């Protein structure tokens, strides 16, 4: 089935007025790989699709659940139970039918990433890590550094409420984020990042807002919300800083995703054109 014809200039011409003709062309022909199509990654895809990107490779093995509706743009009543990649691909087709979307139905691990990376159609202009598994983040960062690929690693969005506290910086300058701290520590331990470096070439999205521990009972329970209390550090809850264990707000997860996508587009627009 052929893609519907669209007026590309009318739909995405605003990018040329913002980034310049050459800068916009760089975005329009780029291939970006997004790992993790959830509370952050889905917004990354949304931003790139609405910016006329040529190709997206989406890597995720998860399916949409009702608990995703509060923060994931492709989580709708009509998409619950559908694979996240498939739901995102369908949404992108409605935004930018010219965008080629490749789906890889896997979770990235240190074991499968080398083969997965070899299967990627080159060139890969940017890689965005929107997953919450430290071992996967290390593998992705190592590959990006080795291949001189634009790379953004997203920190922990769970337990955060203040979107205006979200910021970006080099991994070596990131603070207040245990997930990215672990990434930095492991890359140094493996000798991938020298301790004398002042910049790592790994751009990160993070927030200095203190993590809020989850409440003992949700407002949707039968308990009077006024009686609910936050769990303290001795209580048992997910410790991976994912939105599943902690509370989550779309204003924060979307800001993380938009920040990552915006930085990548800005860098693509600045690259010399060959």
pLDDT of residue 218: 53
- Please give the helix or strand (H or E) that residue 154 lies within, else none: strand 150-154
113, two tokens: 């990433």
Taken in order of first residue, the domains within the chain and their CATH numbers are 8-210+249-270 (3.40.50.720)
Comparing CA positions, the residue from 135, 149, 148 lying closest to residue 57 is 149
What's the average model confidence in pLDDT over 20-29? 97
Percent over 90 (pLDDT), the chain = 81
Q: Which residue has the higher pLDDT, 183 or 273?
A: 183
Give pLDDT tens digits for 47-76: 999 999 999 999 999 999 999 999 999 999
Distance, in Å, from the CA atom of 79 to the CA atom of 4, rounded to the nearest integer, reads 23
Give pLDDT tens digits for 159-208: 999 999 999 999 999 999 999 999 999 999 999 998 888 899 999 999 99
Would the pLDDT of 230 be above 70?
no
pLDDT of residue 226: 47
Residue 3: pLDDT band (50, 70, 90) is low
Residue 271: pLDDT band (50, 70, 90) is confident
Distance, in Å, from the CA atom of 99 to the CA atom of 32, rounded to the nearest integer, reads 11
What's the average model confidence in pLDDT over 104-127? 97
Q: What is the reported pTM?
A: 0.89
Would the pLDDT of 219 be above 60?
no
Least confidently predicted of 108-122, 134-148, 190-204, 220-234: 220-234
pLDDT of residue 274: 60
Q: What 3 state SS string does 171-186 have?
A: HHHCCCCHHHHHHHHH
Give pLDDT tens digits for 153-163: 999 999 999 99
Comparing CA positions, the residue from 25, 42, 40, 53 lying closest to residue 90 is 42
Phi, psi of 103 (to 5 degrees): -105, 135
Spatial contact of 59 and 35, defined as CB atoms under 8 Å apart: yes
Order of strands, edge to edge, in the sheet holding 55-59?
A: 100-104, 55-59, 31-35, 126-129, 150-154, 203-207, 166-170
Residue 13: pLDDT band (50, 70, 90) is very high
- Helix boundaries (H) for 147-216: 178-189
């Amino acid at each position: 089935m052929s893609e519907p014809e669209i007026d590309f200039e009318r739909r995405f011409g605003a990018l040329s007025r913002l980034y310049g003709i050459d800068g916009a062309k760089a975005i329009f022909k780029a291939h970006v790989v997004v790992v993790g199509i959830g509370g952050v990654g889905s917004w990354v895809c949304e931003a790139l699709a609405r910016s006329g990107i040529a190709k997206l490779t989406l890597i995720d093995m998860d399916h949409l659940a009702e608990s995703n509706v509060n923060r994931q743009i492709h989580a709708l009543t009509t998409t619950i139970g559908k694979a996240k990649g498939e739901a995102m691909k369908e949404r992108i087709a409605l935004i930018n039918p010219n965008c080629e979307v490749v789906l890889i139905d896997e979770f990235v691990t240190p074991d499968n990433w080398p083969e997965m990376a070899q299967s990627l159609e080159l060139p890969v202009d940017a890689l965005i890590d929107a997953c919450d598994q430290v071992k996967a983040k290390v593998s992705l960062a190592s590959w990006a550094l080795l291949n001189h690929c634009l790379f953004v690693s997203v920190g922990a969005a769970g337990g955060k409420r203040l979107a205006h506290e979200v910021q970006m910086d080099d991994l070596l300058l990131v603070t207040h984020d245990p997930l990215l701290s672990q990434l930095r520590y492991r890359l140094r331990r493996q000798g991938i990042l020298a301790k004398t470096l002042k910049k790592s070439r790994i751009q990160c999205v993070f927030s200095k807002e203190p993590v809020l521990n989850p409440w003992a009972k949700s407002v949707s329970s039968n308990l009077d919300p006024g009686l609910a209390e936050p769990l303290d550090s001795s209580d048992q809850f997910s410790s991976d800083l994912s939105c599943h264990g902690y509370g989550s707000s779309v204003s924060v997860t979307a800001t993380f995703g938009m920040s990552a996508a915006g930085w990548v587009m800005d860098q693509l627009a600045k690259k010399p054109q060959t």
